[in-house]
Structure 1
Amino acid sequence: MNRRTEPHRSEPRRPRIGIAGIAIESSTFTPYRSSAEDFEVRRGTEQILDRYPFFTGGSASGKALREAADYVGVLHARALPGGQLVREVYEGWTQEICEGLAAAHAERPLDGFYFDIHGAMSVEGLEDAEGDLISAIREVIGPDVVVGTAMDLHGNVSETLFDACDLLTCYRHAPHIDAWETRERGLRDLVDATTAVMAGGPLPHKALVHVPVLLPGEKTSTRIEPARSIYGRIPELTAREGVTDVSYWVGFAWADQHRCKAAIVAFGADADAVDAAALELATAVWEARHDFEFVAPTGSFADCLDQAIASEKRPFWISDSGDNPGAGGADDTTHCLAQLLEREEIRAGQVSALMVSLVDPESAQAAWEMGVGGRGDLLVGGRIDAREPGPVPLRAEVVALDDSPATGRAAALRVLVPAAPGASGSSDDIEGSTSRARQGAGAEQLSGLTVVVTARRSQFATADMFARLGLSMTGFDVVTVKMGYLEPDQYEAAADWLLALTPGGVDQDLVRLGHSRIDRPMIPFDADIPAPSARRVRQDYRS
C-alpha cells in the first residue's frame, strides 16, 4: 500500500526526517576551484543537528521542533562561496549521502527529507548541481518521501529542483539577517506537511513563476527599494487563507547557466490562492524590472579612492566588489592593492589605509617566519586570479599574526617605503590612525598602508575578525574590503561607503563578464522582457 494513502493510524508517530546537503555559492567566472579543503563537513545526526542554533539555543519553539520528529543526519558540507566544486569531491559526497539515506531508509522508512543547501552550487561539468543532487537522492528515497528545502535568496530554482521538492522557501533579507529563521521555518513547514501526509492528508499545492531578470545582490539589497518593498509584500501574501509560504529568489548572477534567473515559488493548501500569490509577486518583480539600482554609489576604484581620500568622513569604506569572496571571487586580485600602493598620501602616511584581505598562503607563511616586527620583501596576490597587474611586490613589516579556522595563518603587514629626506623616528599604533607614519631606522619608513594576507580565502565581515589581528573597523581613514554590499558590522562602522566596480570573477558589470548560456531575453542583457501574463504552474515528478 502506498504510504501516502494508508489508513489513519490510531497512535500517530513522529515523522522520521532525513537531513543532508552541500551548500556553496559558486562563480563559473573565477579560475578558483573549490575542493574538500574549503568545506566544513558534518556527519551523523548529532553533528548535523548541532549546526542549527534553533535546536541548541534553548528556545521553546526550537525545543518543540526538535521533539516533533526523529531526525537522521547523514552529511552536510558548507563552504565560503568560491569557484566550481571539483567534480570528484561532489561525486564522493553525493555517493555518501545516497548510501547513508539508503541505509536509514532500509532500517525504517523515512517520511520526510530536509535538503539543506545554498542553491547556487556549480560543479565541474554539471549544468544544475542541486538538481542533479536531489535527483540522485530521489532515486534512493523514492517519490513518497516529503521533501523540503530552505535556501539563500541568491540561489536558483531550476525546474528539476522545483519538481523534486514539495516545499521550497528562501531568505527574505539581504544582508541575510534571517538565515537561521528561514531554515527553522523551512524545517517546521516540512515537519507539519509530513505529519499531515502521514495522517492521510494531501501534499501542499505549489507554483513556480520564473522572471527573466538576473541581477547581482548589490542591486537587490532589502535595505533599499525596490527590493525592500517587494520582499515587504511577502507577509501579507503568506497571511492569505490557503497560502503557507511565498518566496522570491533573485537568482545567482555569476554563473552562466540556464537556471540563473529570478524565481517566485508559493505553496499551500488552496491551489487558486497559491497560484494567485505567486503570479502577484512575480508581476511586482516585473513591474520593478528597470528600478533596481546599486545599494551604494559606484565608480572605478580610482574614482572611489579619490573621493575617499578627499572626504572628511572617517572611516571611509570601499568595496572591491569584483573580487568579493562572499560571492565566489578568487580573493586575490591586486587591482586595488596596486593603486593603494601608488597613492602619495598613503605612502607618506598622511592617510591611513587598510586592504583586507588577500588570500596568499606563501606570503602569510613568510610573515609567520619573519615574526611580529620582522621585515621583508613579499610578492602578494595574483596567484589564483592573475589578471592585471598580477602579483604585486612590496616590502613590509609584520605587525600582527593570527591563526584561526576562518583564515588559517594570517598576517597584518605594514608597507614600508623609502624614507623621506630628514625623516626621524616616532611611534604610533598598529592601525595608523595618526596623520604621520611611524619612522623606521635607516632608509625606509612605514607608510600608511596595512595589508592583511591569509592562508585561506576569507571575508572580514565581523568586528571579531579584525580584532584578532589587533585591528578595528574604525581605526583607519580608508578601508578597502573585498565585499559587495557591507555586512551589518561593516555597515555600522563605515562613516561613508562606495561600491567600486572592479574586475574579477564576480564583476558587477554582468554584460562584460561574457554570459553565453543564460536564457534570453534577460535583463540586464536585453532592453526588456515579456510580462508574466499567465500562470506557469508546474506539475511535479509524481504527476
Structure 2
Amino acid sequence: MPAETVLVGSISHETNTFADGLTTREDFQKRRERFGEEVRAELAGTNTGVGGVIELAAEENVTLIPSVVASATPGATVERDTYEYYRDRLLADVREHRDDLDGIVLPLHGAMVVEGSHDGEGPLVSSIRDVGGDELPITVTLDLHGNVTDELIRESDAVIAYETYPHVDMATTGRRGLDVLLGMIRGNRSPVMHIERPPLSPVTPTQNTREGPMAEVMEHARRLEERDSIIKVNVFPGFSRSDVPSMGFSIPVVADDDPDAAKVASRDLAAKVWEMRDEFVGDFPEPKEAVSRSIELASELDEDDGPVVLADVGDNPGGGGAADGTTVLRELIEQRATNAGMAIIRDPEVVETCVRTGVGRRVSVTLGGKTDDRHGEPIEGLDGYVKGITDGEFLNYGPKGTNTRNHLGRTVRLQCGVDDEIEVIVTENRVQPADTEIWRHVGIQPERLSILVVKSTNHYRADYEPRASHVIPVNSPGLAAMDPRQFDHQHIRHPKYPIDPMDGSEYPDW
C-alpha cells in the first residue's frame, strides 16, 4: 500500500494583547524559524508538537512534508506582515504539493492574535481550506491556553489539546493529532466536534494539572473518553491576558461520527467546571510576604533539603511579561536574603555594561524596570560583581521542551545583595526559565541555592518541583499577572467569572 503523504506546518504564538508594540519576524527568528527540511533537522527527537508528528510519521511510514515552523516568545500582537509572510510560505507549500497530499496536521497554539484581527488560527486554517479544498483532512493540535474560536472549530476536522500544564505532553499531542488524521485518511474515523464555553477565566496557578481543581477536571475528561465514540475531550482554561471575544474556558469534544455524543460529553464537563468555579480563584502572597516566607522556610532547611522556589508569575515572559520586573528581586535585596538566585532579568544595557567591564570586576548599574511601569521600578545604583558571561545558548534537558534550544542572547551572572549572596541571571532576550539548565549554563548548581526565583507561572514545576522543598507562586504585578481581574478587558464576552460577579444561576444555559 502506498504511504500516505502529510504536510506539517506550525505558526505559533501566545499573544498578550496588553503588551505594547508588535511581535515581528525578528522576534520569531530569536526563538524558532525553520523551513522545509530544516524543520526535521531542528525538531526531530524533541518534546514538541512537531517533534511528535515527525516521530509517528517515521513509525507509520508516512511521507512527511515539513513546511514552516515559526514560534516567538509570548508577547504583543503579531504584526500583520509577519503573519502573512509565514502564512503565505505555508500556503505555497500546500499549493505545490496539493495533488499529492492526503492530509495536513498543524501544531498551533490557539491564542494568537494578529494585527487587525482577534484571531490568528481560525483564518489560517480557513486560508488552507481555500487552497486545499473542503475534502482535505486537517487536524490541529493546540496549547491548552488556546482561546478557541468558532471559526477554528468549523474549519478543522479535529482539534487536539495538551492535557498537561506544565506542558510535558507536547510531543504526545503531536502524535495524537497525526494519529487522528491518519484514521481519517485510512477511512477509520469521521470526527465531529461540539464546543461548550462555561463563563470562567481561572486564576493562572490554579490551572496546574498536577493537583487541585484542574487535576480533577482532567481526570473527569479522561473518564469521558472511555465512552463509546469519544475520541478526545479537550480542556482549555484559556489565556486571560488576551482581550478577545473567545477568551475563557472552552471544552471542544471530538467524537467519531456522533455529534450527540460530543455534545453530551462537552456539556457534562462544562457543568462540572462551572460547579467548581470558586476553586479556580486562589489567594496567593504578594512579593513582600512571599520573600519573607521564603527566607523563613530557607532558615529551616536541612542539608539535604531542596531550595524554596518562588514563581514570579506576573513577569513571566512565557505569558508576555517583560522579564525585567524588579518587585521580587528588590524584596530579596531589602530583606537581606542569602544564598538566593533570580532567573531572569532581561536588561541589554546592563549586559553591555558588564561585558565591557569584564569578569571579575565590580559594576554599579540600574537594573530592570525599563520596559514599562507595570513590572516595578528600576533598581538604581545596584552594586554587583560580574561572576561570569556566556553566549546564552543551552539545551533543555528537563521534561518540558526536552532537547529544544534556548537563545538568551549574551548573558551575565551578576552577584549582588548582602555579601553578593544573590545570583542574578541577566539576559538580552526574554525567555521563560522553565528548565533548570539555565542555571548550570552560567555555572550555578541550582540545588545548592536556598531560594530560587523563576519568572514562570506553572511550567517551572516540571523541572523544579521535584528538586524543591517548597513552592510559592507569587502574586506579582506585570503583563502576566495571575488574576484576570487585574486586566481591563474591552472585547471579551460578559458575564465571565470571576471578572464579573455571578451567582451560578446564569449557567448552564441549555
CA distance in 1, matches of 2:444, 2:252: 43
Residue 285 of structure 2 corresponds to 299
Select which of 18, 23, 44 maps to 2:12.
23
Which structure shows the higher helix fraction? Answer: 2
> What secondary structure, in the 3-state scheme, does the structure 1 residue paired with 2:26 have?
helix
Residue 402 of structure 2 corresponds to none
> What secondary structure, in the 3-state scheme, does the structure 1 residue paired with 2:208 have?
coil
Q: CA deviation at 1:161?
A: 0.5
Distance verdict in 2 for CA 1:505–1:58, change over 3 Å: closer
Residue 82 of structure 1 corresponds to 75
Please identify runs of 4+ aligned residues in structure 1 that moved more than 6 A. 54-59
Letter in 1 for 2:351: A
> What secondary structure, in the 3-state scheme, does the structure 2 residue paired with 1:383 have?
coil
Residue 415 of structure 1 corresponds to 416
Residue 323 of structure 2 corresponds to 331
Select which of 504, 507, 510 maps to 1:531.
507
Question: How many pairs does the alignment contain?
Answer: 481
- 1:341 maps onto 2:330 in alignment: no
Residue 8 of structure 1 corresponds to none
Q: CA deviation at 1:147?
A: 0.8
Mapping 1:298-317, distance limit 5 Å: 298-311=284-297, 312-314=299-301, 315-317=307-309
Letter in 1 for 2:157: D
Letter in 1 for 2:471: W
Deviations 1:5-48 (A, max 9, x none): xxxxxxx5433222112112121122364322332011114624
8 Å contact kept, 1:17–1:111: yes
Q: CA deviation at 1:58?
A: 12
Distance verdict in 2 for CA 1:313–1:325, change over 3 Å: farther
Q: List runs of 5+ in structure 1 lacking aligned partners.
A: 1-11, 417-436, 438-445, 535-543
Residue 90 of structure 2 corresponds to 97
> What secondary structure, in the 3-state scheme, does the structure 1 residue paired with 2:497 have?
coil
> What secondary structure, in the 3-state scheme, does the structure 1 residue paired with 2:277 have?
coil
8 Å contact kept, 2:318–2:432: yes
CA distance in 1, matches of 2:346, 2:47: 34
Residue 520 of structure 1 corresponds to 494
8 Å contact kept, 1:32–1:384: no
- 1:254 maps onto 2:245 in alignment: no
Distance verdict in 2 for CA 1:358–1:33, change over 3 Å: farther
Q: CA deviation at 1:338?
A: 2.7
8 Å contact kept, 2:39–2:69: no
CA distance in 1, matches of 2:359, 2:325: 25
> What secondary structure, in the 3-state scheme, does the structure 1 residue paired with 2:322 have?
coil
Residue 419 of structure 1 corresponds to none
CA distance in 1, matches of 2:51, 2:165: 26
Residue 460 of structure 1 corresponds to 433
Give the structure-2-normalised TM-score. Answer: 0.88
Distance verdict in 2 for CA 1:55–1:324, change over 3 Å: closer
Distance verdict in 2 for CA 1:448–1:256, change over 3 Å: same
CA distance in 2, matches of 1:406, 1:335: 25
Task: Look at both structures and tell me which one has the larger radius of gyration over its CA atoms.
Answer: 1
Residue 484 of structure 1 corresponds to 457
Q: CA deviation at 1:216?
A: 3.9
Residue 380 of structure 1 corresponds to 367
Give the structure-1-normalised TM-score. Answer: 0.83
Distance verdict in 2 for CA 1:151–1:63, change over 3 Å: closer
8 Å contact kept, 1:69–1:191: no
8 Å contact kept, 2:57–2:63: no
Mapping 1:122-161, distance limit 5 Å: 122-161=113-152
Mapping 1:194-343, distance limit 5 Å: 194-196=185-187, 203-267=190-254, 268-294=256-282, 298-311=284-297, 312-314=299-301, 315-343=307-335
> Higher mean Cα deviation, 477-486 or 320-329?
477-486
Residue 164 of structure 1 corresponds to 155
Q: List runs of 5+ in structure 2 lacking aligned partners.
A: 302-306, 394-405
Residue 402 of structure 1 corresponds to 390
Distance verdict in 2 for CA 1:63–1:317, change over 3 Å: closer
Deviations 1:193-239 (A, max 9, x none): 1221xxxx773222111221112431121122221121112332222
> Identity of aligned pairs, percent?
28
> Higher mean Cα deviation, 377-386 or 63-72?
63-72
Q: CA deviation at 1:364?
A: 1.4
Q: CA deviation at 1:509?
A: 2.5
8 Å contact kept, 2:56–2:178: no
Letter in 1 for 2:315: D
> What secondary structure, in the 3-state scheme, does the structure 1 residue paired with 2:410 have?
strand
8 Å contact kept, 1:116–1:149: yes
Letter in 1 for 2:107: D
Distance verdict in 2 for CA 1:96–1:138, change over 3 Å: same
8 Å contact kept, 1:49–1:73: no
Q: CA deviation at 1:382?
A: 2.1
Letter in 2 for 1:367: C
> Higher mean Cα deviation, 308-317 or 297-306?
308-317
8 Å contact kept, 1:32–1:82: no
Residue 111 of structure 1 corresponds to 102
Letter in 2 for 1:137: I
Residue 7 of structure 1 corresponds to none
> What secondary structure, in the 3-state scheme, does the structure 2 residue paired with 1:305 have?
helix
